[in-house]
């Protein structure tokens, strides 16, 4: 029997890709135990929908600033050291703040620290792919998504704790747990990875130069991006996927809890199902869709599936057991759509990036993406304050835009190749 290509890739991993992938499941025992309750935790502490949306937007704007600085920081400090230091700043410190949170200001300050995670988004991506073969990239990002979805296996822990301790005390304990596990993850990754080949070259080239001076050289990087149609396409797709993901992360549990009246103890079970489904699709359907070279069909199917999932969520009735059947069906489409689109958007960015200037090009890309997506948290908050369904009407429009952009790009790309 032929071995599954994703399992084959997982078993054969070496060096930095192995260190990055093998430590990634620790997300499931740390941050992903808290995330299903993040918004309702804020509501329980007295925050309003508009304040939650504002925090999401501040978080995104902070990411814009640190996305801009991430390239020079990563080149100057090295991929390995940057990842360790900024993972601690972006995740371990906010966990302590969330643990003791009492009001809006705690969450705002935590968002400012948490926004520095864009530095490690860049440096960690460099650690993952710079020493890997180009043909492995889509499978590597598939494994990254799978590792993130493994949190589904631990979701009942949150549910049991909330049912026994009530919401706020349970989430406080989970944030302390997240601090410990994330700090362990940071240390293990640091000791089991090494600086990449490109990273060592950039360390020598940036010696004696300040981060500010390095940031001043972005003019040439912008020209590199502007000359690449594929890079621009990957930026647009990633921005659309990021905006949809941010709205879902922030407001999905709000609509399910406050509009559809699903009990708090059941909230983690639905993301658990979505995660399991995403993993199933990533191991079965999606690898076969990406083997033909072109990512057009996987992108179109991903956007269409996600759109159907969001539509069903909006149409789910408040009363009656039928709402649970519609929610589950919605999550089937969401699982396929979100799992494939996150992997594909990350892969597109990595595939089209200039290898010699990866850190700085990806820094600009992340900055543009964050700048484009940052207003959607605030917009989502305003929409949610009018109707809990409206943020998801917005995501449906964004997903339709993704289908249009994909069709236009691949038509023009085909025409350009035919000339």
- Burial per residue of 324-355, b for 16 or more beta-carbon CB atoms within 10 angstroms, e otherwise: eebbeebbbbbbbbbbbbbbbbbbbbbbbbee
Task: Report whether 75 contacts 203 (CB < 8 A).
Answer: yes
Per-position DSSP letters for 292-361, written without gaps between them: TS--HHHHHHHHHHHHHHHHHHHH--SSSTHHHHHHHHHHHHHHHHHHHHHHHHHHHHHHHS-STTHHHH
Distance CA 197, CA 96 (A): 35
Residue 226 vs residues 311, 352, 365: alpha-carbon distances, Å:
35, 12, 11
Q: What is the pLDDT of residue 297?
A: 84
Distance CA 103, CA 45 (A): 6
Distance CA 145, CA 338 (A): 10
Q: What is the pLDDT of residue 404?
A: 94
Question: Two tokens at 372?
Answer: 């484009």
Q: What is the pLDDT of residue 16?
A: 92
Q: What is the pLDDT of residue 332?
A: 85
* pLDDT per residue as tens, the chain (419 positions): 356 777 888 888 888 999 999 998 887 788 878 877 888 899 999 998 889 888 988 887 888 888 888 888 998 999 999 999 999 999 999 999 999 999 999 999 999 999 999 899 889 988 998 887 777 777 888 788 777 777 667 767 887 888 889 999 999 999 999 999 999 999 999 999 999 988 999 899 888 888 877 777 666 667 777 777 777 888 888 889 888 988 887 787 777 777 777 776 677 677 777 777 777 777 777 776 666 656 788 899 889 999 999 898 888 877 777 778 888 888 888 888 887 887 787 777 766 666 666 667 777 777 777 777 778 877 888 888 888 888 889 999 999 999 999 998 888 665 444 32
If 0-12 CB within 10 Å is exposed, 13-18 middle and 19+ buried, where does residue 190 land?
middle
Task: Report whether 158 contacts 81 (CB < 8 A).
Answer: no
């Amino acid at each position: 029997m032929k071995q599954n290509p994703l399992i084959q890739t997982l078993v054969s991993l070496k060096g930095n890709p192995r260190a990055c992938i093998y430590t990634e499941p620790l997300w499931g025992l740390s941050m992903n135990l808290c995330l299903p309750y993040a918004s309702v935790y804020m509501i329980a502490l007295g925050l309003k929908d508009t304040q939650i949306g504002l925090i999401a937007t501040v978080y995104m704007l902070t990411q814009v600033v640190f996305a801009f600085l991430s390239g020079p920081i990563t080149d100057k400090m090295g991929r390995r050291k940057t990842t360790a230091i900024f993972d601690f700043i972006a995740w371990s410190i906010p966990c302590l703040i969330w643990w003791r949170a009492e009001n809006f200001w705690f969450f705002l300050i935590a968002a400012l620290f948490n926004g520095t995670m864009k530095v490690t988004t860049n440096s960690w991506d460099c650690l993952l792919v710079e020493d890997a073969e180009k043909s492995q990239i889509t499978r590597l990002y598939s494994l990254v998504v799978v590792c993130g979805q493994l949190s589904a296996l631990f979701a009942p822990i949150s549910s049991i704790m909330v049912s026994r301790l009530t919401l706020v005390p349970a989430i406080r304990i989970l944030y302390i747990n997240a601090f410990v596990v994330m700090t362990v993850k940071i240390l293990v990754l640091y000791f089991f990875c090494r600086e990449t080949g490109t990273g060592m070259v950039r360390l020598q080239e940036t010696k004696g130069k300040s981060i500010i001076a390095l940031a001043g050289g972005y003019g040439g990087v912008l020209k590199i991006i502007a000359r690449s149609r594929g890079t621009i396409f990957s930026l647009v797709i990633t921005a659309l996927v990021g905006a949809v993901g941010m709205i879902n992360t922030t407001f999905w549990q709000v609509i399910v809890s406050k509009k559809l009246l699903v009990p708090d103890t059941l909230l983690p079970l639905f993301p658990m199902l979505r995660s399991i489904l995403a993993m199933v699709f990533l191991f079965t359907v999606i690898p076969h869709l990406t083997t033909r070279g072109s990512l057009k069909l996987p992108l179109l199917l991903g956007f269409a599936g996600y759109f159907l999932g969001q539509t069903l969520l909006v149409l789910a009735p408040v009363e009656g057991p039928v709402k649970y059947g519609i929610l589950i069906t919605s999550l089937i489409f969401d699982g396929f759509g979100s799992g494939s689109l996150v992997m594909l958007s990350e892969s597109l960015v990595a595939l089209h990036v200039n290898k010699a200037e990866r850190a700085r090009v990806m820094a600009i890309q992340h900055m543009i993406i964050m700048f484009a997506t940052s207003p959607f948290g605030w917009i989502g908050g305003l929409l949610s304050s009018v109707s809990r369904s409206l943020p998801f009407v917005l995501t449906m429009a964004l997903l339709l835009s993704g289908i249009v952009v994909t069709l236009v790009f691949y038509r023009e790309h085909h025409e350009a190749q035919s000339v």
